[in-house]
Amino acid sequence: MIGSQSAQKLPSLSLVLGGARSGKSRLAERLLTSSGRTRHYIATAQAWDDEMRARITAHQQDRGGDWITHEAPRDVAAVLANLPADHVVLLDCATLWLTNVMLAEADVAQECAGLLAALAACKAPVVVVSNEVGWGIVPDNALARAFRDHQGRLNQQIAGAAGLVMGVMAGLPMVLKGHLPDGFEATF
């Protein structure tokens, strides 16, 4: 673990990408925990059924109770606008956020532009978790193809603005852009 000085070396925006159950959220949580700063967790998941409620509960238990949690399925910008500069924030995840935007039949381009502006304006360092959805087969329906395309573009935009981009595959992290904070071990 490293002390609170390391958070100063965290870029203002970081992105952790990976497939489902790759270990991306756990790595992102460790990155923020190692900062020594007050941690905020922006949760974008919605509990539509019992299985999802169980997943959310398990995720909360895994990360522990020393996070300030904000339930923000869509209005992430409002949370980001009110975070102090000496805190850190985890947005988990951009994939579920985009799903919520699409299910609401909102203007995806406008919503994504608003998210990117809010990430850029946030005073605290932000780590965004997102799924890499482009490595699978081409979906067989228009909605799934539109989602894959929107998610790919959003990931590219966040990665372009981020100072640190990491990919996680089978629990193994890879730095794709930038550098990890001094002293942070990206191993599980």
pLDDT in tens, 134-179: 888 888 899 999 999 999 999 999 999 999 999 999 888 999 999 9
Residue 112: asked if its preceding bond is cis (omega within 30°), the reply is no
Place of tokens 């799934």: 144
Give Cα separations from 79 to 12, 28, 128, 187 (angstroms): 16, 19, 14, 30
* Residue 29 one-letter amino acid: E
Average pLDDT, the chain: 89
pLDDT on residue 63: 74
Higher pLDDT, 186 or 84: 84
Q: Which residues are catalytic?
A: 59
| pTM (two decimals) | 0.90
pLDDT on residue 188: 58
Q: Report which of 79, 147, 161 is spatially closest to residue 113, judged by C-alpha positions.
A: 161
Higher pLDDT, 175 or 182: 175
Task: Give the SS3 label for residue 186.
Answer: coil
Here the tokens at position 151 are 């998610």
Residue pLDDT, tens place only, 69-122 = 999 999 999 999 999 999 999 999 999 999 999 999 999 999 999 999 999 999
pLDDT on residue 159: 98
pLDDT on residue 8: 45
Residue pLDDT, tens place only, 15-60 = 999 998 888 999 999 999 888 899 999 999 887 788 888 887 777 7
* Side-chain-side CA neighbours of residue 170 (13 Å): 0
* Side-chain-side CA neighbours of residue 71 (13 Å): 5
pLDDT on residue 138: 86
Here the tokens at position 92 are 């988990």
